[in-house]
């Protein structure tokens, strides 16, 4: 049992105590010390080879699954308290998603750990050329608050499968979920290799200046920039999965009712607090009114005449996110659906905005709330031009029955991921890499891609000392005749990968 983990207070009590006693500055000095201790312990365990065996990795992955299965009700309760999240969403989008990642890794980790043989040329035809996946060491994983279980534990699956030790930092914003992870980890995962720490952004920026072997961060762009800067001081490599304004194009040739259902589910589940939901819609003026009415009908079906009374609809995570979302709603476009707010409950109704201008506040900032702006475009080319004027998003969505429209949008825009005629699902596929590009992040994860993110690909050439009569051609004194022979032996053909493929 990890005595330090058991002795630590809950996040909610921790921050409450800081506010009451004014000890925040003192805590800022002591908090990194806790992480230094955990980092040292993890480093010792890693150097001792504790994580290297396949059996250890499988045992830890299986323990992670048991933790989720044994404590499902605790996670459901924690997320209900943090986000008013329905049990259905917690089980489906948080717990099952993580378990699927873990099962996929359990079924494939033996294959992933095997050496990868690569092609040879004439010079190395009798040698062995392999790529060895070796663990990086001790990695740091910071999860986002919008999906606090999923965004901590899915990267952890990859870190475990790759043979690393890990320190996990759940977001302090979802304090009950963070406390749940902090409490349960010591009972299931190896106490020397895997740890959960609690702290806010400022404290963690200090921690990230420590020498980890990799930092995996999920969050907004502002914090991601600070993380990258902090990591740069120790030359620590980072994976950044950052938010962005995800466009959704709705073509004139599409099933509007179906599109509305899928867009409404993606935008308004978890009360719109999602990094991968459609952020705004681009559509032709002829489609807009039909789409607005279809969205209105979907919301009535999903949540009833008053979503505030629905057990399937969540709340804003805190007053800061509530106030920010409400201000964006009030200062942008025209409310066509929803718009009701209740500050006491941190409730914002599912809202559709029309008459939105490109320079409205809601189009200038990322939206973590249940607000969906709709903008008019005249055609697919105008939509593509609009998308390409913005920073590269995490996701691009397109709804159309015309395959040429889908292909054009996919080919002529750049984003972390792309999905046609649905939303969000591409981010849940275990076999597909997920991550950002440009301003929406760097690196990717899920399935084998998580294993690769937390591995170093070591190139290995295994030679013998035989055939020195051939090798000596590269030694001085240099002769043109020898150069011709060496060039012939070491150069690949343009038309093929070389004769060496048949060896």
H or E segment and range at residue 392: none
Listed in order, the ranges of the chain carrying CATH 3.40.605.10 are 3-243+448-456
pLDDT in tens, 148-206: 999 999 999 999 999 999 999 999 999 999 999 999 999 999 999 999 998 776 777 78
pLDDT in tens, 385-434: 999 999 999 999 999 999 999 999 999 999 999 999 999 999 999 999 99
Just give the CATH number of 3-243+448-456. Answer: 3.40.605.10
Give the integer Cα–Cα distance in Å for 208 and 434. Answer: 23
CATH 3.40.50.720 assigned to domain 247-414? The reply is no
- 248 has pLDDT over 80: yes
Strand partners, 396: 418
166 backbone dihedrals φ, ψ, rounded to 5°: -150, 145
Give the integer Cα–Cα distance in Å for 89 and 249. Answer: 26
Single out the residue of 183, 126, 242, 241 nearest to residue 11, CA to CA. 183
pLDDT in tens, 425-442: 999 999 999 999 999 999
Listed in order, the ranges of the chain carrying CATH 3.40.309.10 are 247-414
Task: Mean pLDDT check: name the lowest of 36-50, 115-129, 355-369.
Answer: 115-129
Only one residue has tokens 């033996």, namely: 110
pTM above 0.95, yes or no: no
**Cβ atoms < 10 Å from Cβ of 342:** 12
Give the integer Cα–Cα distance in Å for 78 and 88. Answer: 14
Radius of gyration of the chain (CA): 26
Give the integer Cα–Cα distance in Å for 218 and 224. Answer: 8
Q: Tell me whether residue 108 is exposed, middle or buried, using C-beta atoms within 10 angstroms of its C-beta: 0 to 12, 13 to 18, 19 or more.
A: middle
């Amino acid at each position: 049992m990890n005595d330090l983990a058991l002795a630590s207070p809950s996040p909610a009590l921790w921050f409450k105590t800081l506010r009451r006693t004014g000890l925040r500055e003192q805590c800022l000095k002591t908090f990194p010390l806790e992480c230094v201790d955990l980092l040292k312990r993890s480093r010792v365990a890693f150097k001792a080879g504790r994580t290297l065996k396949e059996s250890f990795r499988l045992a830890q992955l299986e323990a992670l699954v048991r933790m989720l299965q044994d404590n499902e009700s605790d996670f459901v309760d924690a997320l209900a308290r943090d986000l008013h999240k329905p049990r259905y969403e917690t089980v489906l989008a948080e717990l099952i998603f993580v378990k699927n990642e873990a099962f996929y890794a359990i079924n494939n980790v033996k294959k992933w750990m095997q050496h990868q043989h690569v092609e040879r040329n004439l010079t190395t035809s009798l040698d062995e050329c392999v790529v060895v996946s070796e663990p990086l060491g001790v990695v740091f994983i910071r999860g986002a608050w919008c999906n606090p279980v999923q965004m901590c534990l899915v990267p952890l699956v990859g870190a475990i499968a790759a043979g690393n030790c890990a320190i996990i930092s759940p977001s302090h914003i979802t304090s009950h979920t963070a406390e749940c992870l902090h409490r349960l980890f010591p009972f299931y995962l190896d106490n020397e290799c895997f740890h959960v720490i609690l702290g806010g952004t400022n404290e963690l920026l200090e921690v990230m200046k420590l020498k980890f072997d990799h930092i995996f961060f999920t969050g907004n762009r502002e914090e991601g920039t600070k993380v990258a800067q902090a990591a740069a001081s120790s030359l620590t490599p980072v994976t950044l999965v950052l938010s962005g304004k995800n466009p959704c194009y709705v073509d004139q040739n599409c099933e509007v009712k179906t599109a509305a259902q899928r867009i409404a589910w993606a935008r308004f589940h978890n009360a719109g607090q999602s990094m991968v939901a459609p952020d705004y819609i681009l559509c032709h003026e002829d489609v807009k009114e039909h789409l607005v009415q279809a969205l209105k009908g979907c919301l009535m079906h999903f949540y009833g005449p008053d979503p505030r009374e629905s057990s399937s609809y969540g709340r804003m995570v805190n007053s800061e996110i509530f106030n920010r979302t409400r201000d964006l709603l009030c200062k942008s476009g025209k409310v066509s659906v929803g718009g009701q707010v209740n500050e006491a409950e941190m409730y914002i109704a599912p809202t559709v905005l029309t008459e939105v201008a490109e320079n409205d506040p809601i189009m200038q900032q990322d939206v973590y709330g249940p607000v969906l702006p709709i903008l008019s475009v005249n055609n697919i080319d105008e939509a593509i031009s609009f998308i390409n004027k913005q920073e590269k998003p995490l996701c691009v969505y397109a709804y159309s029955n015309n395959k040429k429209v889908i292909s054009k949008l996919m080919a002529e825009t750049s984003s972390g991921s792309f999905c046609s005629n649905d939303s969000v699902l591409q981010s849940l596929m275990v076999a597909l890499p997920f991550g950002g590009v440009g301003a929406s992040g760097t690196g990717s994860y899920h399935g084998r891609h998580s294993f690769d993110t937390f591995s170093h690909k070591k190139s290995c050439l295994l030679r013998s000392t035989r055939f020195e009569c051939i090798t000596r051609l590269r030694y001085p004194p240099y002769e043109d005749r020898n150069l011709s022979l060496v060039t012939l032996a070491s150069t690949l053909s343009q038309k093929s990968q070389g004769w060496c493929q048949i060896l």
